[in-house]
Amino acid sequence: EVQLVESGGGLVQPGGSLRLSCVASGFTFRSYWMHWVRQAPGRGLVWVSRINSDGSTTTYADSVKGRFTISRDNAKNTLYLQVNGLRAEDTAVYFCARAVDTSIRGVGYWGQGTLVTVSS
Amino acid sequence: QSVLTQPPSASGTPGQWVTISCSGSSSNIGSNSVYWYQQCPGTAPRLLIYSSNQRPSGVPDRFSGSKSGTSASLAISGLRSEDESDYFCAAWDDSLSGVVFGGGTKLTVL
């Protein structure tokens, strides 16, 4: 069974930083593209970033480019999102998600999310 | 303002057939696969459809997807009370080099 467990969220002041983690199990982590998607309270889904299976290729939404960094440690089955320069509009639940399968890169299976609240 | 356009709400009665539309452009739906997700309040989204019309294992065949040009649709047949959820479409956008989502459709089972 695919399991994705996020952690690292919390309350942070504007301009602050956090590192979100997502521990994967139930599949061969190193074979899949991975994504981060966020959802502000009461709002829709917004894609944040994706990374290829070996970590050599990353892509970001314009709204986070230069502030967020996606990375992975395949030895630890863990996906990361370093979030810097946080703004109030970054307040959201951040979901880690796995690609549908090894040849279909789209967002497939989701974790339960971790809440990031940016407020003074 | 979402890149993909969905109606904010839809409704139907138990047993009915309902469809939810998703409108995009040549840079997203027109040239890439469409995905559909179901999200119940307070839970993570669940993949319903990938590659525009494929169902993952475990998704009932009451759910089906289709795509034509720059639009896509999710159809639900034999509507059940447990189908009452938010539904989101998504696709890769070649111009934005990122995944774009629709704003979501809240389905109410009357």
Contact of B19 with B63, CB cutoff 8 Å? no
Out of A37, A62, A108, the one facing B47 most closely (by C-beta) is: A108
Give CA–CA dist A9/B106, Å, rounded: 27
Helix (H) or strand (E) holding A43: none
Closest-CA distance of chain A to residue B98, Å? 6
Give CA–CA dist A38/A110, Å, rounded: 11
Q: How many CB atoms lie within 10 A of CB B27?
A: 18
b/e per residue B52-80 (b: at least 16 CB within 10 A): beebeeebeeebbbebeebbbbbebeebe
Out of A35, A95, A105, the one facing B44 most closely (by C-beta) is: A95
Q: Tens digit of pLDDT per residue, chain B (110 long)? A: 899 999 999 999 999 999 999 999 999 999 999 999 999 989 999 999 999 999 999 999 999 999 999 999 999 999 999 999 999 999 999 999 999 999 999 999 99
Q: Tens digit of pLDDT per residue, chain A (120 long)? A: 999 999 999 999 999 999 999 999 999 999 999 999 999 999 999 999 999 999 999 999 999 999 999 999 999 999 999 999 999 999 999 999 999 999 999 999 999 999 999 999
Give CA–CA dist A7/A94, Å, rounded: 9
In this prediction, residue A18 carries a pLDDT of 97
Give CA–CA dist A43/A9, Å, rounded: 18
Cβ distance B103 to A46 less than 8 Å, yes or no, reads no
Give CA–CA dist B89/A56, Å, rounded: 28
Contact of B31 with B62, CB cutoff 8 Å? no
For residue A111, the chain B residues in CB contact (below 8 A) are 44
DSSP string, chain A: --EEEEE--EEE-TT--EEEEEEEESS-GGGS-EEEEEE-TTS-EEEEEEE-TTS--EEE-TTTTTTEEEEEETTTTEEEEEE-S--GGG-EEEEEEEEEETTEEEEEEE---EEEEE--
In this prediction, residue B53 carries a pLDDT of 97
Give CA–CA dist A59/A50, Å, rounded: 5
Closest-CA distance of chain B to residue A45, Å? 6
Say whether A38 sits in a helix, a strand or coil: strand
In this prediction, residue B1 carries a pLDDT of 84
Three-state secondary structure string covering B55-79: CCCCCCCCEEEEEECCEEEEEECCC
